[in-house]
Structure 1
Amino acid sequence: MVDAFCFDEKFELTDAMKNKYEDDGFFVVKNFLDKEEVENIWKTLEEPDSIMKKGYVTHEPDGKKIMRILYSQPGNDFTGILARSEKIVNTVEELLGGEVYHYHSKFILKNAHEGGRHVWHQDYGYWYKHNVFPDMITVWMPIDKATRNNSCLQLLKGSHKCGRITHVPSSGFMQTEADPERIEQLKQVCEHLYCEMEPGDVLFQHCNLLHTSAPNDSDMRRWAFVACYNRRSNSSIVKHHHPQYSPIEKVPDSEIKKCTNFTDFSGKDFVNPIGNEDDRKLYSAYNIRKP
């Protein structure tokens, strides 16, 4: 279990939050998104022409699956407005100490019984070849209840302080794994936490924080929406599938609920490293059931 802060209408980043981010590498804010905002994320998945059609499925060595929807630009649909909202972007900019831009967003979808494992890694372990400094952050938003039983995130508290460690290709499809020997050493000095969260809770996570998630063998699905940001001064030095700096058009929080665009995903620049038509059909036809 992890400690959490509570969201209110006058939300602002506090010294306690900043200190926790610096000391622990993360913090959680409960009810950062209200019920209506979570429901509206779901609408982007439920509509007949939903964002689900843009996704892909990876088949892991153990027979499990991980479903993802990945894109580089936020766009103007509901998820884009949310990712550009002041309450998220202003918080991220304060934590990183400067202007940020949208690096990418994604849905990570682990279904009951078949959801695959994410190996121990740092997000910067994937990103450092294109970005010189770890001035990057992940904002993790569950849209299902995330528990120890259904593959919630596991974190090594304070592990971001060790800096980026060596990552090697994993047996998992397209996954990169932090050095297992180093992980075992860090487990001796960093508290191993299970980050259980409710829909609407939000995790702000340092890009060097070590984390993992187990296979989802439970009867409960575990779906999440994730937005990642890079500091402007750290704009990618190598062109790749995620963008270099472009200004993020922040919107007032009041615009989140005003947005009724759940089907026009133009300009999001989707990334599909698989390109398998059969998987895309499976993905778009998957039975969606809200919690």
Structure 2
Amino acid sequence: MEKTGFGPFKNEFKYEDPEFRVTDEVRKAFDECGFIIVRGLMDDVETGKIKKSLEEYGLVEKYAYGVPDAVGREPKVLLWCYTGNDVLGLVPRLEKVASTAEQLLGGDELYHYHTKVMMKDAQKGGSFEWHQDYGYWYKNGNLRPDMISLFLAVDPCIQENGGLQVLVGSHSGGRVDHNFDGGQQGADKERVEHLKKIYPHCFVNLQPGDGIIFHCLLLHSSGPNDSAMRRWAFNCSYNKRSNNPVKKHHHPFYHKLDKVGNNVLRECDNYCEPEGKEFVDPSTDATVKAGSKPAEQ
């Protein structure tokens, strides 16, 4: 990783194997902005394997469901709890993902909380309303915001097709109350408008293989997809072992995360191993109101 961050907030870094590491510069950028962007975190081979797993093995058709936005348009979500040894399960176990997230949160042990794929169909995909991930996870019994996520672009994720928007540094504003906004948890709108006057509003444009690693208190959203381009993104989330939830819910309690070397994904030919992942049935998730349901339900 380059020693000096670039981009308007100096929080963008280029992945360079085997020199990728969380330096003081990287940690400072994360602490100040609430996120870092890692350009080229996955190479073309790795990104291609993720895309192949999602496109060719029927998981989207079997398990994905809609989560309507405030105006009723639907982005879709494919969500599971445990990793496995297939291509999709290896991504959150890679050292360059898991150890980076761990170091950015202070070095304490993390476990895999869940992975999801977020999908916006061309010309009709819906928005994700302004929210903090902790707006959902607070309601799941996680007492502290010791949680972090990787958002990885599978397709181009740009402003034109409903890419990410963030309020830079807004994680420092603390937890915002969340309530249903359509089928999603949306942050209190009045509070968000006040925060927009304090924190810069930034569009994050990502190309396939680029990743953004962000704190669970960072306010973010994404607009509708009115373009002719599909927008798929892979998102894996982690919780600290010391922040084990205090109530049972649709995501798991602490379990050991078995990390793997950065070359393992490139060498993996196991494209589909759905057993054991525990794909989430949206009827068990009290934090969403699902729209369209999976084909097998």
Query: Fold conserved (TM > 0.5)?
Result: yes
Contact conserved, 1:121 with 1:176, CA < 8 A, in 2?
A: yes
- The match for 1:221 is 230
From 56, 76, 92, the counterpart of 1:83? 92
> How big is the shift at 1:281?
3.2
- The match for 1:144 is 155
Structure 1 pair 251/65, CA: closer, same or farther in 2 (3 Å)? same
Percent of residue pairs identical? 41
Cα distance in 2 between the residues matched to 1:169 and 1:60: 10
> How big is the shift at 1:220?
1.2
- The match for 2:133 is 123
Give the letter aligned to residue 5 of structure 1.
Answer: F
> How big is the shift at 1:59?
4.4
- The match for 1:288 is none
> How big is the shift at 1:258?
1.7
Cα distance in 2 between the residues matched to 1:150 and 1:242: 29
- The match for 2:114 is 104
> How big is the shift at 1:192?
0.2
- The match for 1:8 is 16
> How big is the shift at 1:279?
4.0
> How big is the shift at 1:215?
1.0
Say whether 1:114 aligns with 2:124: yes
Deviations 1:118-141 (A, max 9, x none): 111100011113111110001100
Give me the TM-score of the superposition, normalised by structure 1: 0.91
Cα distance in 1 between the residues matched to 2:98 and 2:190: 36
Contact conserved, 2:62 with 2:296, CA < 8 A, in 1?
A: no
For 1:1-291, list aligned pairs within 5 A.
3=10, 4-9=12-17, 10-50=19-59, 52-60=61-69, 62-97=71-106, 98-129=108-139, 130-170=141-181, 172-173=182-183, 175-273=184-282, 279-281=293-295
**1:90 is paired with a residue of what secondary structure?**
helix
**1:228 is paired with a residue of what secondary structure?**
strand
Structure 1 pair 280/221, CA: closer, same or farther in 2 (3 Å)? same
**2:79 is paired with a residue of what secondary structure?**
strand
Structure 1 pair 282/240, CA: closer, same or farther in 2 (3 Å)? closer
> How big is the shift at 1:52?
4.1
> How big is the shift at 1:46?
2.3
> How big is the shift at 1:57?
2.6
**2:75 is paired with a residue of what secondary structure?**
strand
- The match for 2:287 is none
Contact conserved, 1:51 with 1:265, CA < 8 A, in 2?
A: no
Deviations 1:96-152 (A, max 9, x none): 120000000000000111111111110001111311111000110011111111111
CA RMSD of aligned residues (A): 2.0
234-243 or 54-63: which moved more?
54-63
- The match for 1:289 is none
Structure 1 pair 155/49, CA: closer, same or farther in 2 (3 Å)? closer
> How big is the shift at 1:86?
0.8
Unaligned runs of 5+ in 1: 284-291
Give the letter aligned to residue 264 of structure 1.
Answer: E
The alignment covers a number of residue pairs equal to 281
Contact conserved, 1:76 with 1:265, CA < 8 A, in 2?
A: no
**1:120 is paired with a residue of what secondary structure?**
strand
Cα distance in 2 between the residues matched to 1:219 and 1:160: 33
Cα distance in 1 between the residues matched to 2:101 and 2:70: 36
**1:109 is paired with a residue of what secondary structure?**
strand
Cα distance in 1 between the residues matched to 2:154 and 2:201: 23
Cα distance in 2 between the residues matched to 1:80 and 1:61: 32
Deviations 1:72-111 (A, max 9, x none): 1112110111111111111111111200000000000001
Cα distance in 2 between the residues matched to 1:126 and 1:105: 14
**1:107 is paired with a residue of what secondary structure?**
strand
Cα distance in 2 between the residues matched to 1:133 and 1:48: 37
Cα distance in 2 between the residues matched to 1:208 and 1:60: 20
